[in-house]
Structure 1
Amino acid sequence: MTTTTSSTATITSLGVGSGLDLESILESLEESKTATLLTPITTQEASVEAEISAYGTLTSSLNALQTAAEALADASLYQSLSTSLSGSGVSVSTTSSAVAGSYSIEVSQLAQAQSLATDGIADTSTTLGTGTLTLQSGSGTAISITLGSSNNTLAGLRDAINAAGGGITATIVSDGSASPYRLVLTSSSTGTDAEMTVSYSSSDSSDLASSLFGYADGTGSMTETVAAKNAELTINGISVTSQSNTVKDALQGVTLNLTATGASQTLKVERDTDKILKAITAFVDAYNDFASTVDDLTAYDADSATGGELLGDSTTRRISTELASDIYSSVGSGTFSYLSQLGITLQSDGTLSIDEDTLQSALDDNIDAVTQFFIGSDGKSGFISRITEDLDSYLDEDTGLITAKTDSLESKLDRLEERYEQKQALIDSEMERWREQFTQLDTLISTLNSTADYLTTQFEALNSD
């Protein structure tokens, strides 16, 4: 009789020993646990994340509305001026102190700077002398240049004058004659107040510089080639004189830049209603974008039985209600108390529409009343001020309503993540315990199968004897 010894099987893959699909059973158990414990949490996380994202969308639309509202709250907007000129030769710039009006301007003379020229000499390197040249432009600081080895030529003196400053520039001009080189001095400023004085003193009365710049006895001098002139113009028939071609404050808050003389032309200084209209239109567009965003985020689709991420959200409803109330409530007791009086009306879908003719008429005919409506007589108590205050309370990064809401949602998301990790750890622990039990079962069945095979072999051996 043959003897066979049985041994315990080693399980390398779950189910191999027993022939049962234990791995699939374990997977089914894990899927069941996941569906029961984890899926509700991930569903809640997805909902909270969608709500946080929706608040990001809502915040973007509110930020755009806040930017547009702040532009309308800026008092300087309503002081903006536009200018127009009927001709050429004059350009204009204004400050906020300018006064709207129509002005007739005629320029008869431009301001110009004085130029003086010496007689000509044959060579720019000819020695001029050893005296002292004194120059002054108007009431400016006088400069004195003592001629010496470094500058006692026409070229050297030119460079010395230019280096000294003093509001006078020097150049050398060649006129093409036998003695062509002439030193030309030009005042850096226009007008008669900048006329130059030139004097030269020397112990040698016969040196060349004396003949160029004037003798000590007063004879001989430079030639005036360009006379100093003031700008001359009339504004509404009133004569105006200016040392410069840049005429400041002859009209309050207006600078005239003169470039040519010519016929009378009309300057119009007007409130820049186009700029105000654009700011109002930008605000209406931003509000409509906000209203549309809220509508999308709180919508409900009956066919699919699905709602927007912020459907039923109390914070969104509060913001929408308060801003809508700001839009249709009255402001002050001025000429305009309601947006609708400016042609801006609230529609049934929650958006605003603009009657451009009505709004433009208000801007053209009563800009001061429009200004008072938007910012109040004190610049901070009008219609737009109330909206900016509300928007600030929603959007403040530290204490704002939306910050509080999103912080709450972030905290909720953190708690859900903690719950998820706890439930996942529980599932992992149970799965490990079941795997150990299944492995024991697999090993037991494998051992029983081995024993059965052994006994079968023994019985067969006995029967064969």
Structure 2
Amino acid sequence: MTAMRIGGLASGMDIDTLVEKLMVAERAPLDKLEQKKQTYEWQRDAYRDVNTKLQTFDTYIADNLILKSLNTKTATSSNSDLVSVTATSAASGTLSIEGVSQLATAARKVGQSVTNNSGISASGTTKISDLNGSTFTGTTEQSILIKAITKSGTMATEATEIKFKATDTIDDVLKKINSSGAGVTAFFENGKLSLTATNTGALKDGSAEIQLVSSQTKDGNTVTATGNELFGILGVTGSDSSNPNNLVDGGQNAILRINGIDIERSSNTFTLNGYSITLKDTFNSNVTNPTEATVGKAVTLNSTTNVDEIITKIKDFVNTYNGLITDLKKLTSETKNRDYAPLTSLQRKEMEEKEIELWEKQAKSGLLKGDSVIQNGLSSMRSLIYQSNPAITNTKFNTLYNVGITTSKDYLSGGTLEIDEDKLRAALQEDSDSVTKLFSFSDGKEKDTVIVNGVTKEVDTRGFLQKLRGEMTKVKVNIEAKAGRASMNESQYTLGKFLRDVNSSIDTWETKLTSIESRYWKQFTAMETMINKANSQSTSLSSYFA
């Protein structure tokens, strides 16, 4: 229960103001704690902002230089009407396609004409139960188990289950087949059903490219096909009487000769030596022994490195990297303005919002000045420029400074990068594979065993970008140990523990100040009571002697 307060009625003093001024002095330790809390919070947020910058840069590297190859190559075909080509970063050598005797085609079968029970040619709207010879009735779901050749030229390991009812129309069933992902395209028109494998090619064992399955086990349960005979009712039956489940065959592989070697592919588009090749027509380059195929010269495929595009990517990387380094350098070298301490709650009440904003901008200066975690991280990142990579066999280009990328001569820049474009261009023109591998070698290992000058050594063979990401990860981990993440509680990182302790001290002081304020009011109330009694006695005596 709050004690009764008498606010200067007897003494005529402004007790409220007196107590408020006395409490200002008493609040000094609490103000310091609140300022300390604010500083910890600002430092925590500043550290987390650094981690956000590092993560943004890491994502940029991954998206633009790791997932998308740095080594951009352009491929050309001497006859793109017959063979078109694109190049991956692995494209190498010259390929001579001396003939294509057969293009890959998909297995297809067109069924016999089917009618409804009235002998009229069936249409897409005809119900399954109304087809001539249909044994399906009622609303019970039936299951088809069907599988087909895959893009790799092998048969699917698992059949796709497609369910239908006798009340479904032919169009309903076809829609289910075409959307099932079974690798089969179904089409019905003029009373006939056409089934085509989605993927081209022939199976090596000679079996049908579209097959039915009687039953299969999936997730521990046996699924039985109760509706496979639907295809027979729709006029499509297997050509192999010994195995009626072999539904559709006749697919064929592409057959061609490359650099003197006869090869087959299940698709007309395939990758070879880093080239993505698409066959468009058959031809034969042997004019002395012509066939029905197109006769002409061999189609030659070549690749060239797109040096300008690589340089553009490296320039963009360097600019982005320099922006990050400049920001981090500024944070660790910014001078603390000690004339601007965090505002207390009382000071905030006396200031306008714009004044508070300007004040806090100065008060936040130098929060991370001289921070060892960031400075050590910058030092480690800077040292990577001069590290050689033993995985690069061409020792002319096994360091970044050898290919024209060095740190700035201005030591105050914090290690920003500079590019000697002429030197970089010359290196790319001479050996683009080594230069791009130096930047990004995804097969490298942090601890790899290689032989250097006849001696087996354990070295770091990762590309520069992989090493850089590794160093940034170390910085992020160390920062999280200090400042945590939004999802962490205060006990999991250093500044959080400081905040927890200072909050505890603040709670203690607030309780203490409440007690002190109550004591002041108790004392002033007692004084007022005594003065009031004295005044009453004085009045009584005056009236007695009057």
Aligned to 2:535: 449
CA–CA distance in 1 between the matches of 2:14 and 2:196?
107
CA–CA distance in 2 between the matches of 1:286 and 1:354?
13
- How far has the Cα of 1:95 moved from its partner? 7.3
Which residue identity is paired with 1:284?
A: V
8 Å contact from structure 1 (residues 335, 369) kept in 2: no
Query: More helix per residue: 1 or 2?
Result: 1
The match for 1:313 among 365, 368, 371 is 371
CA–CA distance in 1 between the matches of 2:189 and 2:21?
103
8 Å contact from structure 2 (residues 5, 521) kept in 1: no
Superposition pairs of residues 42-53 of structure 1, within 5 angstroms:
42-53=34-45
Aligned to 2:26: 33
CA–CA distance in 2 between the matches of 1:358 and 1:76?
24
- How far has the Cα of 1:436 moved from its partner? 0.6
- How far has the Cα of 1:362 moved from its partner? 2.4
CA–CA distance in 2 between the matches of 1:246 and 1:450?
115
CA–CA distance in 2 between the matches of 1:391 and 1:272?
30
Q: List runs of 5+ in structure 2 lacking aligned partners.
A: 122-132, 134-173, 209-249, 283-293, 340-361, 446-459, 484-492
CA–CA distance in 1 between the matches of 2:24 and 2:8?
19
- How far has the Cα of 1:371 moved from its partner? 4.3
Q: List runs of 5+ in structure 1 lacking aligned partners.
A: 1-9, 131-158, 174-180, 197-226
Which residue identity is paired with 2:496?
A: E
CA–CA distance in 2 between the matches of 1:187 and 1:321?
62
The match for 1:340 among 398, 401, 404 is 401
Superposition pairs of residues 72-151 of structure 1, within 5 angstroms:
77=69, 82-85=74-77, 87-88=80-81, 90-92=83-85, 99-101=92-94, 103=96, 125=119
- How far has the Cα of 1:25 moved from its partner? 0.7
The match for 2:417 among 341, 352, 363 is 352
Aligned residue for 2:26, secondary structure, equals helix
Q: RMSD of the alignment, in Å?
A: 5.2
Which has the higher Rg, Structure 1 or Structure 2? 1
Aligned residue for 2:503, secondary structure, equals helix
- How far has the Cα of 1:18 moved from its partner? 1.9
* Percent identical: 25
Does residue 258 of the first structure (1) align with residue 258 of the second (2)? no
CA–CA distance in 1 between the matches of 2:444 and 2:85?
28
8 Å contact from structure 1 (residues 82, 272) kept in 2: yes
Superposition pairs of residues 205-354 of structure 1, within 5 angstroms:
246=268, 248=270, 251-252=272-273, 254=275, 256-260=277-281, 267-270=301-304, 280-281=314-315, 283-300=317-334, 307-332=365-390, 334-347=395-408, 348=410, 349-350=413-414, 351-354=416-419
- How far has the Cα of 1:314 moved from its partner? 2.4
Aligned to 1:419: 505
CA–CA distance in 1 between the matches of 2:476 and 2:385?
19
Which residue identity is paired with 1:20?
A: M
CA–CA distance in 1 between the matches of 2:107 and 2:67?
45
8 Å contact from structure 1 (residues 111, 244) kept in 2: yes
Which residue identity is paired with 1:256?
A: I
Q: Which has the higher contact order (CA 8 A, sep 6+)?
A: 1
CA–CA distance in 1 between the matches of 2:331 and 2:522?
50
CA–CA distance in 2 between the matches of 1:329 and 1:115?
59
CA–CA distance in 1 between the matches of 2:429 and 2:436?
12
Structure 1's 51 and 231: CA in aligned 2 closer, same or farther, altered over 3 A? closer
Structure 1's 304 and 110: CA in aligned 2 closer, same or farther, altered over 3 A? same
Aligned residue pair count: 372
8 Å contact from structure 1 (residues 107, 233) kept in 2: yes
- Residues 425-458 of structure 1: CA distance to partner in whole angstroms, max 9, x if unpaired? 2221111111111101011112222222333334
8 Å contact from structure 2 (residues 70, 436) kept in 1: yes
The match for 1:17 among 2, 7, 10 is 10
- How far has the Cα of 1:287 moved from its partner? 2.6
CA–CA distance in 1 between the matches of 2:469 and 2:496?
27
Structure 1's 289 and 21: CA in aligned 2 closer, same or farther, altered over 3 A? same
8 Å contact from structure 1 (residues 168, 187) kept in 2: yes
CA–CA distance in 2 between the matches of 1:116 and 1:419?
83
- How far has the Cα of 1:378 moved from its partner? 6.2
Aligned residue for 2:368, secondary structure, equals coil
- How far has the Cα of 1:259 moved from its partner? 3.7
CA–CA distance in 2 between the matches of 1:116 and 1:389?
56
- TM-score for both structures, normalised by structure 2: 0.53
